[in-house]
Structure 1
Amino acid sequence: MTIQFTALPTENVRALQRGGPDAYGRTPEHKISDGDGVPCRHCLKNVAAGDGYLVLAYRPFPELQPYAETGPVFLHADECERATETEGLPEILGSFDYIVRGYGNDDRIVYGSGGVIPTDEIAARAETLFGRDDIAYVHVRSARNNCYQCRIERA
C-alpha cells in the first residue's frame, strides 16, 4: 500500500493569510520566527528565522462534533506553495516521535488506533492502520502538545 502525507488545503490557508477568521472566529496572530520549531502546515516546512508567521486555531474536520479537536497551528504569514502530496516524511516532522491516530469516515477517532510512534516508523504505522476497514485517514499530531501536524491518506 502507498500512503501520502497531505498539507492543509490552499483555499483555507489563503483565507487565513489574508486575515480571515480562524476556527474561533479570531484574526490570526502575527509573529516573527526565531527559526526554531515553527512548522507551517501548508508547505510542511519550518518557517525560517526572521520570516513572519501566523498562530491560529485550526479544526481539521469538516464540521463540529465531539471528536473535532481544535488547536493551535502555524502558517507562513506570506503565501507559500502547498506541499506536494508524497509518501516521504515532511520536513516539519523533526521531533523524535508523534501521535499517529486513525479516524473513520464519520470523522471520529477510531479507538485503539492511536499511539505515540517514533518518527521513522510513522509511515509503517499508517500503512498498518490502513489495513483496517474502519480507518479512513490518519492524523499526525505532536506527542507533547497534541498539535495537528498533517494528515495521511491512502494514495
Structure 2
Amino acid sequence: MHSFQLSGLPAQNFSALFELDDAQLAERAIQRVTAEAHPGYPCRVGLVDAEVGDELLLLPFEHQSAASPYRASGPIFVSRRTHAQDLAAGRLPPYLTRRLVSVRAYDAADRMVDADVVDGNALAELITRILDNADVAYLHLHAARRGCYLCRVDRVAISP
C-alpha cells in the first residue's frame, strides 16, 4: 500500500536573499513584495498562503531541473516568516485544497507521462489514482490558472 508525501522547498535556500537590498535583489531578477490579500501569495517553503502584510520574495525558480525536454522554471513566492512544515503522509493543506491545481506526473527519466487539472478538494483522489501507475515516479503540482509551481509529491509506503 502507498500514500503520498508533499515536499516544500528548503528555507535555507532562500533565507540569505532576504538580507539583500532591493537593488541586489533586482540584479538577481527578484522582487520584494508585501502580501496584500489572503489567500493569494502561496509560499513554496511552508506550503501556506502568506498573511496580509507578510514580506515575500518573488523569484524565478527552476522546479524541474532534469536533463529532459521537460526542464522548466517559473516564478514562486517565498515568505520571510514561513518555515518548512512536516506534513503527515496523505495530508493536503488548505494551500492546495483552495486552488484549482494542475497535476503533472513524471517517470524515472523525468518525462511527463500523465497530467490533469482538478479542484483542490478532489486533489487527494487524483494524486492517489495517478500514483497507482507504477510508471509514475513523482508529481509536480502547479496553480492551474497561473501555472506557477506549488510543490512536489512523492509516493510513500504505508503499513497495512
TM over 0.5: yes
State which structure, 1 or 2, has the greater radius of gyration over its C-alpha atoms.
2
Residues 19-64 of structure 1, C-alpha deviation per residue, up to 9 Å, x if partnerless?
5x99xx8252101111330010101111111111010111112345
How far 1:144 sits from its partner (Å)?
A: 0.8
How many residues are matched? Answer: 149
Residue identity in the other structure for 1:133: A
SS in 2 for 1:2: strand
**Any gaps of 5 or more consecutive residues in structure 2?**
none
Give the counterpart of 1:100 among 98, 103, 108: 103
Q: Going by fraction, where is strand more abundant, 1 or 2?
A: 2
Q: Which runs of 5+ in 1 are unaligned?
A: none
Does the alignment pair 1:75 with 2:78?
yes
Rounded to whole Å, the distance in 1 between the matches of 2:108 and 2:17 is 27
Superposed displacement of residue 18, structure 1: 4.8
Q: Which residue number in structure 2 is paired with residue 28 of structure 1?
A: 30
Cα deviations by residue, 1:71-120 (Å, 9 ceiling, x for unpaired): 111011x253102133211231254521111011122211xx11111212
Aligned-pair identity (%) = 29
Does 2:21 match 1:39? no
Higher share of residues assigned helix: 2
Partner letter of residue 61 of structure 1?
A: Q
Separation of aligned partners in 1, 2:12 and 2:6: 18
RMSD: 2.3
1:57-136 matched pairs, under 5 angstroms: 57-63=60-66, 65-76=68-79, 78-86=80-88, 87-110=90-113, 113-136=114-137
8 Å contact from structure 1 (residues 138, 151) kept in 2: yes
Q: What does residue 11 of structure 1 align with? A: 12
What TM-score do you get using the length of structure 1 for normalisation? 0.84
**Preserved CA contact (<8 Å) 2:107 2:135:** yes
Contact 1:14 1:79 in 2 (8 A): no
Work out whether residues 7 and 85 of structure 1, in 8 Å CA contact, stay in contact via their aligned partners in 2: no
Distance 1:138 1:64, change over 3 A: same
